[in-house]
């Protein structure tokens, strides 16, 4: 949520009640920060700790993302930690080639609700979640998935091997394209001039009115979308079936963002890490974690990009909770968890018996990953086999057996296009040799 053109929740705003002492700072278009250097252009998104704004940097004549933290002490402490991590990232990557978001500046801003720590980050585009939605959850072409995976792995390799940082919350929302899907939302490509002063007639302190107007507009948009979709589904007047969206012309390069929960491998703060659907088994079982938790999350993201659906969506059931269902879903796709791992965590007794079997979910329906890709998502046998060969090692129940980001970057699946080109060249060369040989045989025959 750090610096996206579309971050934050689409359905809800942060709430007027959060604009109070210790809470958010009320921002308006045209407000200036840090001695007039940054001028706000529009809101990009929000999170539990902060709001994020597109701002114009008058010193560098460029656009940036301005992240304004809530002012209460606990939020300020979280911001200081994130600044520390981002500073280390920026210091080791002066060329900004490591596929990780860059911290531009940081400062304090005093407002009616207290003192707010502010981070200035490079402006990036849409999240991978938005990209998946743009494709209407149909999945991306595998070559596009490869491009994105390479960028994420370059970022993870840098974080893990060079800095010793674990992200701990890798998910599609926390990976942003370097530019927007829609050029009109890009402040440079859209060709709009930057706002350098407050627009005339802008309401003073009109935060509440702003929220009401936005809610009404959202309801109207949802109503229009609902009508359009119903017409399309029944083939009514003007109802065209949804056309497959093409990604040609959209830059697939991306960067890892949001380091609010990141930690150094030798200085971990909490055992409760990762968003549910991307959580590794060792985190559920509380058996300790390291860089390999990010690799598990990466595999879940790659699957989601290729299929349009999350790999694991656990739910509570009769007699079992989300965690046990999550473990069951993992085993149905990846095979039975080795007993030593199943019973080796601080929370293992909550889910497994002494034999390494789940206590409450007894009947598992096993389906290997390659078969699952063919049966449910209609992958070709070859694509399914090759993709599964790339993902399966990353989903090993033994964390120490998962390949590193550096090792993944060497995997044949990521370089399939190059291999195909080499095969074509080889076949072409072989054809020339065979033609030459046939000519030689003719000459000998004379």
Exposed (0-12), middle (13-18) or buried (19+): which is 158, by Cβ within 10 Å?
buried
Q: Catalytic site residue 169?
A: yes
The candidate with the shortest Cα–Cα distance to 57, out of 98, 6, 118, 11, is: 118
Say how far apart CA 388 and CA 404 lie, in whole Å.
17
Q: What are phi and psi of 80, to 5 degrees?
A: -60, -40
Sheet containing strand 38-46, strands side by side? 32-33, 38-46, 50-57, 62-69, 114-122, 103-111
**Residue 116: which of 25, 45, 28, 40 has the closest Cα?**
25
Task: Give dist(CA 238, CA 228) in Å, integer.
Answer: 9
Binding annotation for ATP: 67
Rounded Cα gap, residues 28 and 207, in angstroms: 8
211 within 8 A of 289, measured Cβ to Cβ: no
Three-state DSSP state, 290: coil
| Contact call for residues 290 and 182 (beta carbons, < 8 A) | no
Q: What tokens were used for 403?
A: 């390949």
* Active-site option among 57, 157, 169, 370: 169
What is the spatial distance between Cα 391 and Cα 398, in angstroms, rounded to a whole number? 14
Question: Locate tokens 């389906």: which residue?
Answer: 367
The residue with tokens 């399309």 is 232
User: Where is the binding site, in residues?
Assistant: 67
Residues 6+ apart with CB under 8 A from 11: 218
Provide Rg for the chain, Cα atoms. Answer: 25
Residue 46's SS3 state is strand
CA 285 to CA 220: how far, in whole Å? 45
Q: Compute how many other C-beta atoms are within 10 angstroms of the C-beta atom of residue 193.
A: 7
Cβ-contact 259, 167 below 8 angstroms: yes
Give 16's contacts (C-beta < 8 A, 6+ positions apart): 207, 208, 211
In angstroms, the first-to-last Cα distance of the chain is 76
Contacts of 297 (CB under 8 A, 6+ apart): 167, 169, 170, 171, 274, 278, 279, 280
Active-site residue list:
169
């Amino acid at each position: 949520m750090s610096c996206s053109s579309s971050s934050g929740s689409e359905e809800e705003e942060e709430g007027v009640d959060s604009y109070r002492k210790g809470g958010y700072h009320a921002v308006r278009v045209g407000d200036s920060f840090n001695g007039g250097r940054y001028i706000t252009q529009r809101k990009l998104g929000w999170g539990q700790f902060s709001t994020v704004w597109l701002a114009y940097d008058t010193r560098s004549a460029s656009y940036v993302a301005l992240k304004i933290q809530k002012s209460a002490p606990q939020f300020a402490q979280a911001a200081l930690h994130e600044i520390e991590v981002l500073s280390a990232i920026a210091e080791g990557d002066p060329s900004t080639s490591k596929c990780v978001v860059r911290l531009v500046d940081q400062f304090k801003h005093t407002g009616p609700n207290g003192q707010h720590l502010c981070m200035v980050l490079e402006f990036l585009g849409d999240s991978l979640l938005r990209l998946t939605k743009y494709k209407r959850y149909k999945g991306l072409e595998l070559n596009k998935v490869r491009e994105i995976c390479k960028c994420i792995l370059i970022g993870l390799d840098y974080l893990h091997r060079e800095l010793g940082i674990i992200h701990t919350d890798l998910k599609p929302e926390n990976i942003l394209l370097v530019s927007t899907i829609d050029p009109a939302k890009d402040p440079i490509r859209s060709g709009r001039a930057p706002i350098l002063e407050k627009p005339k007639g802008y309401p003073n302190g009109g935060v509440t009115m702003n929220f009401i107007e936005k809610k009404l507009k959202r309801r109207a948009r949802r109503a229009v979308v609902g009508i359009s979709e119903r017409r399309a589904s029944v083939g009514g007047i003007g109802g065209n079936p949804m056309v497959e969206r093409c990604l040609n012309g959209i830059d697939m390069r991306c960067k890892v963002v949001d380091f609010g929960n990141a930690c150094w491998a030798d200085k971990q703060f909490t055992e409760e890490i990762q968003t549910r659907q991307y959580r590794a088994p060792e985190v559920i079982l509380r058996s300790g974690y390291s860089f390999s938790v990010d690799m598990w999350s990466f595999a879940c993201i790659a699957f989601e990009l290729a299929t349009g659906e999350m790999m694991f969506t656990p739910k509570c059931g009769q007699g079992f909770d989300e965690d046990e269902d999550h473990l069951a879903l993992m085993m149905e796709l990846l095979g039975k968890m080795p007993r030593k791992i199943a019973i080796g965590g601080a929370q293992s007794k909550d889910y497994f018996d002494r034999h390494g079997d789940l206590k409450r979910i007894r009947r598992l329906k096993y389906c290997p990953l390659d078969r699952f890709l063919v049966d449910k998502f209609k992958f070709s046998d070859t694509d399914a086999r090759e993709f599964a060969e790339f993902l399966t090692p990353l989903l090993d129940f033994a964390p120490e057996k998962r390949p590193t980001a550096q090792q993944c970057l060497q995997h044949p699946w990521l370089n399939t296009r190059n291999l195909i080109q080499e095969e074509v060249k080889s076949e072409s060369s072989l054809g020339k040799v065979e033609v030459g040989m046939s000519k030689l045989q003719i000459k000998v025959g004379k």
